[in-house]
């Protein structure tokens, strides 16, 4: 399972490292130490927290202006595979993306909950990209 250092996890959630550390101290998210002895968060636990934060009604804000690019780094929160297709859900900050792709593509990318991916959006299609640091050998 992927592990994320505290800074990277905080960036993915859109919060400060101090906030994430307080949440960890308060039991909101479980942490561990990575191979180098640094504080880290398990990818699946981070994905669950991202979903919880996105559905928290206290976080709702009125949008007065925005400018978004079409690439959204986020965490895979769910993968449903059948014999031909796969449905991949991604939580990117407050945004939830659902992508339908071939099962073969999902298998080749090794998509599993907790993985860091990028939802690249063009019109009504969402493609899933895996950053170089997450590719399997």
- Is 51 found in the same domain as 82? no
Give the whole-angstrom CA distance, residue 30 versus residue 107. 28
Please say which residue of 39, 59, 79 terminates a domain. Answer: 59
Q: What is the DSSP string of 81-120?
A: E-SSEEEEEEEETTEEEEEEEEHHHHHHHT--TT-EEEEE
- Which CATH number goes with the domain that contains 45? 1.10.1660.10
* Percent of the chain's residues with pLDDT above 70: 83
Residue 60 has pLDDT above 60, yes or no: no
Which residues contact residue 81 at a Cβ distance below 8 angstroms, ignoring those fewer than 6 apart? 103, 106, 107
Q: What is the pLDDT of residue 102?
A: 96
Whether 7 and 40 share a structural domain = yes
In a domain, residue 120? The reply is yes
CATH number at residue 105: 2.40.50.100
pLDDT (tens digit per residue) in 62-119: 555 555 467 888 999 999 999 999 999 999 888 899 999 999 999 999 999 999 998 8
Give the model's confidence band at 132: pLDDT under 50 very low, under 70 low, under 90 confident, else very high. confident
Query: Is 64 inside a domain boundary?
Result: no
One domain, residues 98 and 51: no
If you compute the radius of gyration of the chain from its CA atoms, what whole number of angstroms results? 15
Flag whether 66 is in a domain: no
Looking at the 3D structure of the chain, how many domains does it have?
2
Phi, psi of 54 (to 5 degrees): -70, -30
Instruction: Please state the length of the chain.
Output: 137
Based on the domain organization, do 55 and 75 belong to the same domain? no
Q: Residue 96's domain spans which residues? A: 71-134
Mean pLDDT of the chain: 85
Q: Would 65 be classed as within a structural domain?
A: no
Read off the pTM.
Answer: 0.61
């Amino acid at each position: 399972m992927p592990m994320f250092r505290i800074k990277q996890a905080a960036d993915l959630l859109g919060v400060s490292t101090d906030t994430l550390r307080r949440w960890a101290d308060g039991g909101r998210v479980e942490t561990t130490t990575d191979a180098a002895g640094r504080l880290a968060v398990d990818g699946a636990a981070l994905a669950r927290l991202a979903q919880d934060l996105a559905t928290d009604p206290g976080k709702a804000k009125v949008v007065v202006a925005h400018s978004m690019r079409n690439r959204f780094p986020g965490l895979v929160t769910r993968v449903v595979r059948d014999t031909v297709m796969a449905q991949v859900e991604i939580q990117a900050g407050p945004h939830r993306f659902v992508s339908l792709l071939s099962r073969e593509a999902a298998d080749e990318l090794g998509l599993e909950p907790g993985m860091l991916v990028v939802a690249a959006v063009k019109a009504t299609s969402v493609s899933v990209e895996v950053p170089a640091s997450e590719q399997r050998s």
